[in-house]
């Protein structure tokens, strides 16, 4: 039987990356069973009883195994009291209104509204909310856009567990989490000033669609992945070509490769 304050084994995942933890997770998380009152995806954890500040965290990712891996890592933090989950943008917005979270771990690529869209909405509706972006994409793809949109930090899924825990603690305390490589990228953008590259004139959704086109995906495949209509994706494609002064997908692909925009 579970007893609050009981001595339960810790799960050690510090040598694995976030992505690996999501893929290799087996079994149930340590600690008490799920509370029916909080729903299937809500896990209640407890502090060590010594007056430490506790945190409530929302993990938003459309892959269940990734969410499970992140929960296991976060459960190692003695100051985390609860970890909630969301699998889509609208669910993130709903839960952010229903509950108060100290930190939201938000994936950039989710069905429906993208992570960047959700980030902007949350920053507008709840400006004090601290959001840490999580992505499979390298920093030079989306990190600058995320920071400019109001994220407190950007972390790739290839990061190890120690980096995740450090980032969560910094963001929860109100500080920004900026890796050395991202700091260098941000400095370069400040130096460049208004000298924008072509892809920097695109909206976040247009940039996402451009990268998907350049990776070889068809309009139909992109529409299915983003939960949008084929007509909408075709409209995005037309806008992208117009803004960048290009005529076809081959030119887009060449540009994205030349500027190292594909992971």
Beta pairing partners, 210:
none
- Place 193 in a pLDDT band, splitting at 50, 70 and 90: low
Residue 188 has pLDDT above 80, yes or no: no
As a whole number of angstroms, the distance between CA 44 and CA 31 comes to 8
Q: What is the reported pLDDT for 45?
A: 34
Residue 47 has pLDDT above 50, yes or no: no
Contacts of 138 (CB under 8 A, 6+ apart): 156, 263
Residue 247 has pLDDT above 50, yes or no: yes
Residues 18, 20, 22, 28, CA torsion sign: negative
- Place 221 in a pLDDT band, splitting at 50, 70 and 90: very high
pTM, two decimals, is 0.59
Residue 135 has pLDDT above 50, yes or no: yes
Query: Which of 70-79, 139-148, 253-262 is predicted with the least confidence, judged by mean pLDDT?
Result: 139-148
Task: Say what angle helices 89-98 and 115-125 make with each other, to 10 degrees.
Answer: 20
Which token pair is 245? 């002064």
Widest Cα–Cα separation across the chain: 66
Q: Which domains does the chain have, with CATH numbers?
A: 18-189 (3.40.50.2300), 198-258 (1.10.10.10)
As a whole number of angstroms, the distance between CA 12 and CA 29 comes to 12
64 vs 16, residue with greater confidence: 64
Contacts of 201 (CB under 8 A, 6+ apart): 243, 244
Q: What is the reported pLDDT for 76?
A: 81
262 vs 5, residue with greater confidence: 262
Hunting for tokens 């940039």 — which residue is that? 207
């Amino acid at each position: 039987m579970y007893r609050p304050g009981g001595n339960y084994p810790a799960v050690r995942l510090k040598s694995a990356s976030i992505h690996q933890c999501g893929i290799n997770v087996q079994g149930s998380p340590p600690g008490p069973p799920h509370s029916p009152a909080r729903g299937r995806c809500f896990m209640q954890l407890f502090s060590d009883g010594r007056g430490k500040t506790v945190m409530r965290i929302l993990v938003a990712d459309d892959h269940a195994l990734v969410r499970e891996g992140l929960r296991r890592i976060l459960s190692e933090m003695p100051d985390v009291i609860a970890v909630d989950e969301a699998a889509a943008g609208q669910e993130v917005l709903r839960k952010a209104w229903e509950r108060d979270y100290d930190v939201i771990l938000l994936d950039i690529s989710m069905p429906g509204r993208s992570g960047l869209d959700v980030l902007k909405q949350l920053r507008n509706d709840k400006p004090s909310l601290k959001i840490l972006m999580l992505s499979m994409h390298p920093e030079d793809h989306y990190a600058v856009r995320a920071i400019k949109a109001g994220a407190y930090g950007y972390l790739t899924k290839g990061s190890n567990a120690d980096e995740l825990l450090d980032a969560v603690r910094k963001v929860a305390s109100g500080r920004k989490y900026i890796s050395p490589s991202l700091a260098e990228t941000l400095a370069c953008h400040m130096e460049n000033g208004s000298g924008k590259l072509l892809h920097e004139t695109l909206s976040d959704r247009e940039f996402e669609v451009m990268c998907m086109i350049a990776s070889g995906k068809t309009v139909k495949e992109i529409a299915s992945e983003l939960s949008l209509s084929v007509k909408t994706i075709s409209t995005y494609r037309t806008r992208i070509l117009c803004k960048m002064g290009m005529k076809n997908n081959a030119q887009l692909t060449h540009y994205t490769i030349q500027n190292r925009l594909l992971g």
